[in-house]
Structure 1
Amino acid sequence: MYQQLKEKLWSFIVHNNPDLMFNLQDDYRVTEYLETKVSQVMPTAMKLLEQGKEGYAILELCMNEMTAELKPSRYHYIAALVKEEFPEEFVRLREAGLLSYETVNLVDHCKETFDVSGFCEQNFSDKIIKEQITGKILDYFKQAK
């Protein structure tokens, strides 16, 4: 189960948090991060096993616990904002093969705004946060020109 959780967590990160994936790879901390997160959830997994829960249910509950702080995806939030608010820039970046790269850079550029606003699933649709992040994206694109 330990290895399954590591693999599922890494897959989740790759698909939903590429910014974290690149940072972990740059710092050579992928294994350390995955092992720490899985080790933290193993007591829960063992308790659920003792209660007779099915393997798939244990994996799902443990994944929810391990990924709670990674939701919602800042990467997907910014990608959607760029597509919606800056369609010409979106097309230009996509056609140049830079969309993923620049979206990761934008997540880093907007990190302080996300942190200060307490960006989470409960305020994911907040208009003020959207305006603040959109402003930061605009600043980024202006600086890049």
Structure 2
Amino acid sequence: MLNILKEKLKAYILINNPELLIRQEGDLITSTYLEVKVSQVMPLVLRLLSEDKPAYIIEELALNEMTAVLKPSRYNYLLELLETEFQQDFEKFREIGVLRYEVLNLMECCSETFEVFDFSEANEGNRFLRYAVIGKVHEYLN
């Protein structure tokens, strides 16, 4: 179960929070991060096992718990924004193979804006946040 949870968390991070892998700077630190996160949900896992919950339910609940602080994904927010609001740049980045790199750069560029608006699941749809981020992305691209 431990290895399954580590793999699921790593897969989630690769898709939704790739900046964490860059910040972690290496396999040893990444492995340690995954182990810490999994160990934090072990009480939940053990309780659910004692309640004879199916493995897929345990895995889903544990993954939700481990990723709660990672949501919403700034990376996916910017990826979607770039694709819908800056289609030509999105396609250009995708075609030349630098889309992930550029979205990670945009995350750095927009970090202050995300902080000012206290980016969270509650305000992810805030149009003023979106306008502010669009402005930052426009500055970055020009």
TM-score by length of 1: 0.89
How far apart are 1:136 and its partner, in Å? 1.4
Give the corresponding residue for 2:68. 68
How far apart are 1:25 and its partner, in Å? 3.2
Amino acid corresponding to residue 45 of structure 2 in structure 1:
A
Give the corresponding residue for 1:44. 44
Give the corresponding residue for 2:29. 29
How far apart are 1:28 and its partner, in Å? 5.2
Give the corresponding residue for 1:105. 105
Mapped to 2, the partners of 1:10 and 1:25 lie a distance apart of 14
Amino acid corresponding to residue 136 of structure 2 in structure 1:
K
Aligned residue pair count: 142
Q: Deviations over 1:75-108 (max 9, x none)?
A: 1110111111112211221222111110111112
Give the corresponding residue for 2:141. 141
Give the corresponding residue for 2:118. 118
How far apart are 1:134 and its partner, in Å? 1.0
How far apart are 1:33 and its partner, in Å? 0.9
Q: Alignment identity in percent?
A: 45
Q: CA RMSD in A?
A: 1.6
Give the corresponding residue for 1:10. 10
TM-score by length of 2: 0.91
Q: Deviations over 1:57-85 (max 9, x none)?
A: 11110000001111222111101111111
Mapped to 2, the partners of 1:138 and 1:20 lie a distance apart of 25
- What secondary structure does 2:125 align onto? coil
Runs ≥4 residues deviating over 3 A: 25-28
Mapped to 2, the partners of 1:86 and 1:65 lie a distance apart of 34
For structure 2, list consecutive stretches of 5 or more residues without a partner in the other structure: none
Matched, 1:19 2:19: yes
- What secondary structure does 2:122 align onto? helix
Amino acid corresponding to residue 57 of structure 1 in structure 2:
I
Mapped to 1, the partners of 2:3 and 2:96 lie a distance apart of 37
Mapped to 2, the partners of 1:41 and 1:28 lie a distance apart of 20
Mapped to 2, the partners of 1:122 and 1:65 lie a distance apart of 18
